[in-house]
Amino acid sequence: MCKVTSRLSPRTICSVIVLFAFLSVARCARGQSDKDLAARAQATALFAKALAVSDLRSPGSPPFEMRATITIDQRFGKPESGSYLLKWASPDQWREEIHFANYARIRVGGKNQYWQARTSSYELGPLLQLDSGLDFLKDLHAWSNPMFVADLKTIKLHQQKAHGVKVNCVTLVRRDGEYDSDYCFDPATGTLDSANSVEFSNFISFAGKYFPRNVRTEQQPSATPVTLQVNSISPIANTNSADFRPSSDSTVWPSCDAPDTLPVIKTRVLPVYPIRERTAHVEGAVFFYALIDTDGRVTNLTVLAAPGDSDLVNSATAAVNQWKYAPETCSGTPVPVETLISVVYTLGP
C-alpha cells in the first residue's frame, strides 16, 4: 500500500509512507461522494465562525502580548522546553520570538512580509510542526472562502466525541484525491477543536475572542510531539517602536494570511525501497526540511532525522528532489513556503 497525505498551511507538512508487503505494492483507493451546496455552505460557515471568534490579530484588534512555553517531547530522554513571545500591535507591526538552549528565532512583521533571523539556515522539524499548528488562522481564512470550498471534490459533515462532548466535524476531500483534511469545531463557542493531528484546547478569553491555551501537534508518523502552552495574554498599553525594528542580519520573507491558492503537489516521485534494507527488514523515517520555491521546485533539502542508513536517505532524497508543486500565491504572486517532508519506510505483515 502506498499512502500519501499532506496538510495545507503556510508551512505545508507532507508525508509519504512507503509500505511493502514482501515485493508487492498496492495503491490506496479513496472512497468519494458528492455533497450538495448546502453542505458546502455549512462547512464554510463553520470555518468563518471559528475565524471570527479566534482571530486576535484581525485589523482593529487591541495590541497584546502573548507568552508561552514550548515543550518538545523527546521519545528517548528528557523533554526539551523553550519560550515563546508574541508582541502584536497591528497586522503590519508585530514581533515573535522563540528561544531554546541552542536555538533562537526572531521574526518582525511588516506589510505583507516579515524579517527573520535564526541560528540555523533551515527550520528545525519540531518547530515546523509547531508553526503549522500556530498557523491555524490561515487555514480558517482559506476554508472560510467559498471559492476554496467549491473547488473540493467532496465535503463530509459529521459529529464525533472529543473531551466528552460531541463536536461538529468537516472532512475536506480534494478532486485529485491527494489528501483528506479533517477539522472539528466546538458547537458551543465555534472555536476550532482539532485540525488533522493538531489539537486545540483550554481556550483563553481575550478582547472578546478565544485563543487555545494548549496547541499540541504530532502530525507525522514517528514525529516528535510538540506542545505550546500559553501562560498569559495581556494588553499592551504603549508600544515600543524598537520592538518592531528588525536586526541587520535578518532576511525578508513574504507574509500572507489570506492566500489566493495553497501549495498543491503536481508531480510526486515515490522512493524506491532499497533491496538491501528491505531484505534485512530495516524500517524507519527520513525527515527533511525543504523550501517550496516560487516556481514549485523543492529546494534547500536538508535531512533533519533519519534511521541511520544512508541507502534510505539516498533513496528518499533522490525521489523528493524530483517533486514539483503549484506554489502558494498571494495577490497573484507566487511565494516560497517552508515545509517538513517525511518519507517512511515500513514493511507490511
Tell me the DSSP string of 227-240: EEEEEEEEE-SS--
DSSP state of 297: B
Selection from 126, 138, 143 nearest residue 182 by Cα = 143
The pTM of the whole model exceeds 0.75: yes
The CATH 3.30.2420.10 portion of the chain extends over: 2-30+260-347
pLDDT at 285 over 50: yes
Phi, psi of 242 (to 5 degrees): -65, -30
pLDDT at 223 over 90: no
Check residue 239 and give its pLDDT.
85
What residues does 157 pair with on adjacent strands?
170
Q: Hey, is 170 helix, strand or coil?
A: strand
User: Is residue 89 within a helix (H) or strand (E), and if so which, with residue range?
Assistant: strand 80-90
Helical pair 37-54 and 136-143, crossing angle rounded to 10 deg:
140
Check residue 176 and give its pLDDT.
67
Check residue 28 and give its pLDDT.
37
The CATH 2.50.20 portion of the chain extends over: 37-254
- Average pLDDT of the residues in 129-152: 90
The three three-digit cell numbers of residue 264, written as one number: 498543491
Task: Determine the Cα–Cα distance for residues 324 and 284; give it in Å rounded to an integer.
Answer: 24
Q: Edge-to-edge, what's the strand order for the sheet holding 2-7?
A: 2-7, 13-20, 337-347, 284-292, 298-305
pLDDT at 22 over 90: no
Lowest mean pLDDT among 1-10, 59-68, 190-199, 263-272: 1-10
Confidence band of 213 (pLDDT split at 50, 70, 90): very high
pLDDT in tens, 288-310: 999 999 999 999 999 998 887 78
CB 340 within 8 A of CB 291: no
> Which CATH architecture best describes the domain 37-254?
Clam (2.50)
Sign of the Cα pseudo-torsion (165, 43, 259, 328, in order): positive
pLDDT in tens, 224-264: 789 999 999 999 988 889 999 999 999 999 988 888 888 88
Q: Hey, is 28 helix, strand or coil?
A: coil
User: Which CATH number describes the domain made up of 2-30+260-347?
Assistant: 3.30.2420.10
Phi, psi of 25 (to 5 degrees): -130, 125
Taking all residues of the chain, what is their mean pLDDT, rounded to a whole number?
Answer: 86
Confidence band of 75 (pLDDT split at 50, 70, 90): low
Check residue 27 and give its pLDDT.
36
The Cβ-side half-sphere exposure at 85, using a 13 Å CA radius, reads: 12
